[in-house]
A and B are shown apart, each in its own frame.
Chain A
């Protein structure tokens, strides 16, 4: 179903917004992604994902107070919504559940083969 499915990048951004609470905005998210996941993203790409997630209802946003470093401009601060939190949990759950179903032999044989 369209809207409920989470892309890989979307999931990462969603997680980052959670990590950075309550200071998640464009540049911060970009920096965090670089640091944690070694992802080189253009700021415009981060914006695109954030807006998409907001449209899906997984994030909500509000404008911060003006800051000096941005020439007196405000930031748009993103926070997780309930739906966002739920879809993160679902994604997490789905992964663990599916990972558990992999037969042990399969994992071992990779190790041996390696």
Chain B
């Protein structure tokens, strides 16, 4: 029957609330409180039964006050301080007595904790990048959505004049633009190519970068400049740099002298923006007024600080006028939308932006690291559990006596947990030391992005270390404590209690360890295999013979070219506007009604030959053919495929409103790092006055000599400019270097995961052996030889290892492959090597670990073992 308001007997107060009340309430006041609550309930239940229930629950919660709570529930048991002291003393003595297993446990735990601490610091700083700026919650970067052909790109850069549009808005507190450049900086005889950034004076108002000497607002003066501490030391040593002058030469322009107005603190590690020199943006406007006035030239990064309480959406809507001004220029790449990206997301989203100013790790990598950390911690905890359960054998008598003397189950649990917290605390301290002295310095030697032993806030420190200690202590300690406490005292003292790893549970634990270990091992191997793949990859051309030298002026180009031409070991040379590997512009190509984005390289005659690019069909450019100067193009295979041509030669298409004819097709080659798939490429002839790079091809094996010669020549040709030449084989070095660094980290993690599992196995085997010593002795007496004993010892473990391999290895491969897929577009064929390496190395480790104990069995005198008792 449905309960109705007329049928109050049917309604009763919610049971859970009533029970909760009875559970917490002090017996002395329970009756009156419960009585009052019920009385109120039945009174209103007559009219509103549903409301009454809610009210009852609310009242019960409100009664939950210190005065009404039964205190015996709060402290279920409080051991006397003497007992706690005793726990610590026995715990400590035990650590010392079982030194080897204790060391195994503590080492394993602290290595895993050290890695976890480092990874946490990494994640913590990743999620708190840039949030230390005072106005960080009000600062946004303007990001434009630009349609190129049939795709939309997110530009983190914007036109110079966008700032004027923003400043018209009353919700805007301030706008700051910054533009990154390179320039040659010179003080006395020190000449370096530097990252030089132009910024509005308001940049220093919006952001909280610290100025340690001089004037924060000095960018208002056109001849003043801010430089970082580090650069100040490079140029001026220990003398006071403020007020000194340095001269800076921008491309194609005369030198300008600047006075140092202030010293910036070195860019903090929790900033995603880096700069060494800050110059007034006005200078750039003066040098290139045409670019600054151009609405469709994405030349600066624009940051805006909103007034407190203002909504970014509203401001974004008012940016429609910017879109109009931009699109009125008739740019073939229209802006279709704008977005205000909050400062704290700018770095994390930077990998999706074009022209990103900020930089941070790829999110996939952060997820991978997090998973690794959890794996390592679990491995170490399982280790601890297994060894702890096994090591109980030496303490059975102690537990028996404790129980006889009057310890309950609770007290034994408490004792073991206390010991466990002690061990975990020691491991945590050791882990911190490891992270501080070994892991983080190691990281800093591997990666360009540095890290420090710092946290975003002290709450984070408390939460992290407290949580870590609690989780590790509970996971690793709960089972052994429960297991030990359930022993029967009489049986123990009679020597009848069975213990150790016969139990299924400890086999499962060991299995879980191996599964985790295999997962991380195979995952790491898969990644290493993929980077090996990149390392050995064919770039689509022979990169070993070429040298590229960027030049500042045409005059330099001519002089250098003439010098190079006379060198006997130079095979060929050519100038180019865009150089394959580090440069390249995009062009829009018409395909029927749609437009396709293609990589465009305007080059000089002979450049393709000098770069060793492989011709598939047709011909390369010829200086003698007049049309080659104008309308001929060479494309790559991918271009032909995108256009849908089966016969690409002599086809024509329109590019940037000019009709072009295909004269040759090149094999696909890599022009960018391996993060991007090979796309369509168009190569055209550029006039000599636009050349920015001289490419030189040396005889095979002579590239070093020729490079030395060019370096020497450069000093004569351009004594004022820093030499920026490089070997073509080095262009992907930053990519490959990053990959090699990742490899080293993964080697380390695989090594640790093997080490941890080996440690756990060692502890377990050694305890099991003690238990089975008698069995082995009997076998020896009946004639068992070393080989059969070794086989016997291994049998238990090999099954576990094999099962774990079939569970863990595919999981590891799957996880790592899906991560690789999210970062690299190219499909990397799965190879059997990672699996082979993982199972072989694991088997070797297992055999070695078990074998190390074999000596004990062989040397043991059976009569001695059997006679004891």
With A27-B39, A27-B40, A69-B42 as given contacts, are A74 and B63 in contact (CB-CB < 8 Å)?
Answer: no
**Would you call the interface of chain B mostly helix, strand, loop, or mixed?**
helix
A26 within 8 A of B: yes
CA distance A45 to B39 in the complex (A): 16
| In contact, B36 and A27 (Cβ under 8 angstroms) | yes
| In contact, B35 and A74 (Cβ under 8 angstroms) | yes
A19 within 8 A of B: no
Q: Which residue of A lies closest to B33 (CB)?
A: A47
CB-defined contacts of B33 to chain A, threshold 8 Å: 26, 47
Q: Which residue of A lies closest to B32 (CB)?
A: A76
CA distance A75 to B514 in the complex (A): 64
| In contact, A43 and B62 (Cβ under 8 angstroms) | yes
CA distance A69 to B59 in the complex (A): 18
| In contact, A25 and B62 (Cβ under 8 angstroms) | no
CB-defined contacts of B37 to chain A, threshold 8 Å: 43
| In contact, B59 and A43 (Cβ under 8 angstroms) | yes
B395 within 8 A of A: no
| In contact, A42 and B59 (Cβ under 8 angstroms) | yes
CA distance A74 to B35 in the complex (A): 7
CA distance A75 to B63 in the complex (A): 16
Q: Which residue of A lies closest to B36 (CB)?
A: A26
Per-residue contact bits, chain A 13-55, to B (CB 8 Å; 1 contact, 0 not): 0000000000001110000000000000011110110010000
| In contact, B67 and A25 (Cβ under 8 angstroms) | no
| In contact, A71 and B38 (Cβ under 8 angstroms) | yes
B553 within 8 A of A: no
A86 within 8 A of B: no
User: Which of A25, A43, A74, A75 is packed against the most chain B CB atoms within 10 Å?
Assistant: A43
CA distance A44 to B34 in the complex (A): 11
CB distance from B222 to the nearest CB of A (A): 65
CA distance A75 to B40 in the complex (A): 13
CA distance A21 to B660 in the complex (A): 107
CB-defined contacts of A26 to chain B, threshold 8 Å: 32-33, 36
Per-residue contact bits, chain A 72-111, to B (CB 8 Å; 1 contact, 0 not): 0111100000000000000000000000000000000000
A70 within 8 A of B: yes
CA distance A73 to B34 in the complex (A): 8
Q: Which residue of A lies closest to B31 (CB)?
A: A73
| In contact, A70 and B35 (Cβ under 8 angstroms) | yes
CA distance A66 to B472 in the complex (A): 53
Q: Which residue of B lies closest to A42 (CB)?
A: B62
| In contact, A70 and B59 (Cβ under 8 angstroms) | no
Given B31, B36, B39, B40, which contacts A47 in the complex, CB threshold below 8 Å? B36
| In contact, B40 and A74 (Cβ under 8 angstroms) | no
| In contact, A43 and B36 (Cβ under 8 angstroms) | yes
CA distance A57 to B699 in the complex (A): 107
CB-defined contacts of A25 to chain B, threshold 8 Å: 32, 36
CB-defined contacts of A69 to chain B, threshold 8 Å: 39, 42
Per-residue contact bits, chain B 767-807, to A (CB 8 Å; 1 contact, 0 not): 00000000000000000000000000000000000000000
CB-defined contacts of A47 to chain B, threshold 8 Å: 29, 32-33, 36, 63, 68
With A73-B34, A75-B32 as given contacts, are A44 and B39 in contact (CB-CB < 8 Å)?
Answer: no
CA distance A100 to B366 in the complex (A): 76
CA distance A26 to B484 in the complex (A): 51
Interface range on chain A: under 10, 10 to 19, 20 to 34, or 35 or more? 10 to 19
CB distance from B66 to the nearest CB of A (A): 10
CB distance from A54 to the nearest CB of B (A): 11
CB distance from A59 to the nearest CB of B (A): 14
CA distance A70 to B65 in the complex (A): 22
CB distance from A20 to the nearest CB of B (A): 14
CA distance A71 to B35 in the complex (A): 7
| In contact, A43 and B40 (Cβ under 8 angstroms) | yes
| In contact, A51 and B67 (Cβ under 8 angstroms) | yes
CA distance A75 to B36 in the complex (A): 8
| In contact, A44 and B35 (Cβ under 8 angstroms) | no
CB distance from A65 to the nearest CB of B (A): 12
CA distance A74 to B31 in the complex (A): 7
| In contact, B35 and A48 (Cβ under 8 angstroms) | no
Given B34, B40, B65, which contacts A48 in the complex, CB threshold below 8 Å? B65
CB-defined contacts of A63 to chain B, threshold 8 Å: 31-32
CB-defined contacts of A42 to chain B, threshold 8 Å: 58-59, 62
CA distance A26 to B342 in the complex (A): 54
CA distance A42 to B33 in the complex (A): 12
CA distance A78 to B35 in the complex (A): 15
CB-defined contacts of B63 to chain A, threshold 8 Å: 43-44, 47
CB distance from B769 to the nearest CB of A (A): 63
Q: Which residue of B lies closest to A69 (CB)?
A: B39
Per-residue contact bits, chain B 23-35, to A (CB 8 Å; 1 contact, 0 not): 0000001011111
| In contact, B35 and A73 (Cβ under 8 angstroms) | yes
CB distance from B346 to the nearest CB of A (A): 48
CA distance A25 to B37 in the complex (A): 12
| In contact, A70 and B62 (Cβ under 8 angstroms) | no
CB distance from A34 to the nearest CB of B (A): 12
CB distance from A67 to the nearest CB of B (A): 8
CB distance from A89 to the nearest CB of B (A): 28
Q: Which residue of A lies closest to B13 (CB)?
A: A71
| In contact, A73 and B38 (Cβ under 8 angstroms) | yes
CA distance A50 to B29 in the complex (A): 12
CB-defined contacts of B32 to chain A, threshold 8 Å: 25-26, 47, 63, 73-76
CB distance from A13 to the nearest CB of B (A): 15
CB distance from A63 to the nearest CB of B (A): 8
CB-defined contacts of A44 to chain B, threshold 8 Å: 59, 62-63, 65
With A43-B59, A43-B62, A73-B31 as given contacts, are A48 and B36 in contact (CB-CB < 8 Å)?
Answer: no
| In contact, B38 and A70 (Cβ under 8 angstroms) | yes
CA distance A42 to B62 in the complex (A): 8
CA distance A1 to B38 in the complex (A): 38
With A27-B40, A43-B40, A48-B65 as given contacts, are A75 and B59 in contact (CB-CB < 8 Å)?
Answer: no
CB-defined contacts of B34 to chain A, threshold 8 Å: 73
CA distance A25 to B58 in the complex (A): 20
Given A27, A48, A75, A76, which contacts B67 in the complex, CB threshold below 8 Å? A48
| In contact, A75 and B65 (Cβ under 8 angstroms) | no
CB distance from A88 to the nearest CB of B (A): 24
CB-defined contacts of B59 to chain A, threshold 8 Å: 42-44
CB-defined contacts of B68 to chain A, threshold 8 Å: 47
CA distance A66 to B832 in the complex (A): 81
CB distance from B44 to the nearest CB of A (A): 12
CA distance A63 to B68 in the complex (A): 17
CB-defined contacts of A48 to chain B, threshold 8 Å: 65, 67
CA distance A43 to B62 in the complex (A): 8
CB distance from B15 to the nearest CB of A (A): 14
CB-defined contacts of B58 to chain A, threshold 8 Å: 42
Per-residue contact bits, chain B 63-86, to A (CB 8 Å; 1 contact, 0 not): 101011000000000000000000
CB distance from B68 to the nearest CB of A (A): 8
Q: Which residue of A lies closest to B30 (CB)?
A: A73
CB-defined contacts of A71 to chain B, threshold 8 Å: 35, 38
CB-defined contacts of A70 to chain B, threshold 8 Å: 35-36, 38-39
With A27-B40, A43-B40, A51-B67 as given contacts, are A75 and B62 in contact (CB-CB < 8 Å)?
Answer: no
CA distance A87 to B65 in the complex (A): 27
CA distance A74 to B59 in the complex (A): 19
CB-defined contacts of A73 to chain B, threshold 8 Å: 31-32, 34-35, 38
Interface residues of B in 516-566 (CB under 8 A from A): none
User: Which of B35, B39, B42, B68 is packed against the most chain A CB atoms within 10 Å?
Assistant: B35
Q: Which residue of A lies closest to B59 (CB)?
A: A43
CB distance from A57 to the nearest CB of B (A): 17
CB-defined contacts of B62 to chain A, threshold 8 Å: 42-45
> Measuring CB to CB, which residues of chain A are less than 8 angstroms from any residue of chain B?
25-27, 42-45, 47-48, 51, 63, 69-71, 73-76
Offer 5 A-B interface pairs, CB within 8 angstroms, sorted by A. Answer: A43-B37, A47-B29, A48-B65, A51-B67, A73-B32
Top 7 closest pairs, chain A to chain B, by CB: A73-B35, A44-B62, A70-B35, A76-B32, A26-B36, A44-B63, A70-B39
Beyond A25-B36, A51-B67, A75-B32, 13 additional pairs, beta carbon < 8 A:
A26-B33, A42-B58, A42-B59, A44-B62, A47-B29, A48-B65, A63-B31, A70-B35, A70-B38, A73-B32, A73-B35, A73-B38, A74-B32
